[in-house]
Amino acid sequence: MTSGQPGAGRVVRRAPLTAIESETGLAFTARTHHPELSSHERPSRAVLLEDGRPLAGPANALHEDIRTLGGGRFSFWYDYVYFSTSDHTDPRTNGRRYEVEYTIGGVQDAIARVRARVRGAWQPSASAITRNYAAERQLEMWRRIGCAPTPETRILDFGCGAGERVDEFRRLGHHAFGCDVMLPPRPVGRLLDYIQERVIRPIGTDPYRIPFEDDSFDLVFSVTVFEHVQDYDSALAEIRRVLKPGGVAVHVFPPPWKFLETHVFVPYASVWQAYWWLYLWALLGVRNRFQRGYSARRTADVNYAFLKNETNYLPKRRIREHVLRHFEECLFVEEAAFSRRRFAFFRRLPLLMPLYRNWFSETRGRVLVCR
């Protein structure tokens, strides 16, 4: 972060954008951690820089214009920035540097520094989350499990969302497809192309059906999907149906006793879902990216309904029961998700592996393999 002195009591700051995520169409988002830059009440004077030069903008653009027109438009909205690049390339891969430039009062700057330290110690790292979910990370996990795909391998992303990983795999030369119960209502860009080409398809719900023929895929995978599945048997039966004989399914999802619940960021909200507990953390300012500007009451209401109606954290015993109704083999292989350094460490000390794996499986993440 760099700074200057434009005038008495004012400081010019530049902060790099990290953990950039695809939003919809040509739009990307990144956390600024500076809600005071937001244009939701008045035009923001903050500027977004691309390799040190201000994007053409316009600034304070409508989000729909950013998504559909691009051209360097951007908007600061609560503690996020919505933006498009100057030439519609992906800011995560085009090799350019993106920064926010803004002025701030000296006292505000000191307060912001303190808040940043507290936030850094509390909230999960968005960049770490992005790395763990990326296609390259999935490929590394699959190699450890022994099911590394070739370019001929047909892969299905079960619960693909907006299709980011499908796009990543296809850019890497893999034969990837996707499906989801809820696709974005107004797809644009590559997602629209994939839907029109039937690369990405909506899952039928009445009856529940994955929209591909029997024996279509060598590998079916999902990332943070199975904590939402209400009917395990229907989902597993369909996954088994679309897998070729000898195919494998790999599912990565959070466990019940993860400290920060993956979606609402409230401690142990996977198991403690009492309204007062959610409201307490909302009062303390805990929000996810979709709750910017929400009151504590509204945040608690949304989180309570979401956790009660859209999550289903099962113990491993019950997961095994469901899987073995449809597959011959059910394995939890959390070591596949270890960091490279930790994976190498436990390979040298294999007697310690089961202890750490069990702890990881209950508090960090689960990797389920079905054959």
* 97 Rama sector, left if φ>0, alpha if ψ -120 to 50, beta otherwise: beta
| Model confidence band, residue 4 (pLDDT cutoffs 50, 70, 90) | very low
Cα dist from 32 to 4, 100, 163, 191, whole Å:
19, 8, 25, 26
CA–CA separation, 280 and 127 (whole Å): 27
What integer is the mean pLDDT of 348-369? 91
The contacts of residue 33 (CB under 8 Å, 6+ apart) are 79, 112, 115, 116, 119
Task: Give pLDDT, residue 226.
Answer: 95
Residues 250-294: tens digit of each pLDDT? 999 999 999 989 899 999 999 999 999 999 998 888 888 788 778
- Contacts of residue 303, defined as CB under 8 A and 6 or more positions apart, other chains included, come to 264, 266, 269, 278, 282
| H-only helix segments in the chain | 63-68, 106-122, 126-133, 135-145, 164-171, 189-196, 232-242, 275-283, 296-310, 316-323, 340-348, 353-363
Predicted local distance difference test score (pLDDT) of residue 151: 86
Instruction: Name the strand (E) or helix (H) holding 253.
Output: strand 243-253
Q: For 127-169, how does the pLDDT look when each residue is reduced to its tens digit (9 = 90+)? A: 444 455 688 889 999 999 999 899 899 999 999 988 989 999 9
pLDDT at 119: 47
Per the CB < 8 A criterion, the answer to whether 222 and 165 are in contact is no
Query: What pLDDT is attached to residue 105?
Result: 65
Cis peptide before 43 (omega within 30 of 0): no
Q: Identify the CATH number of the domain defined by range 130-256+313-370.
A: 3.40.50.150
pLDDT at 9: 57
Q: Are 77 and 114 in contact (CB under 8 A)?
A: no
Which residues, including other chains, have CB under 8 Å from residue 276's CB and lie 6 or more apart?
Answer: none
Which pLDDT score is estimated for 309? Answer: 93
Cβ contact 188:68 at 8 Å: yes
**3-class secondary-structure state, position 259:** coil
* Crossing angle between the packed helical segments 164-171 and 135-145, to the nearest 10 degrees: 70
pLDDT band at 221 (very low <50, low <70, confident <90, very high): very high
- The pLDDT tens digits of the residues spanning 331-355 come to 999 999 998 888 889 888 888 889 9
Tokens 């919505």 appear where?
Answer: 82
pLDDT at 242: 97
pTM of the model: 0.68
Bridge partners (DSSP) of residue 253 are 366
Alpha helices in 172-258 (DSSP H): 189-196, 232-242
Give 284's strand partners. none
- Mean pLDDT, the chain, rounded, equals 87
Q: Where are the domains of the chain?
A: 2-122, 130-256+313-370
pLDDT in tens, 89-123: 999 999 999 999 988 666 655 655 655 554 444 45
Contact 11, 109 (CB under 8 A): yes
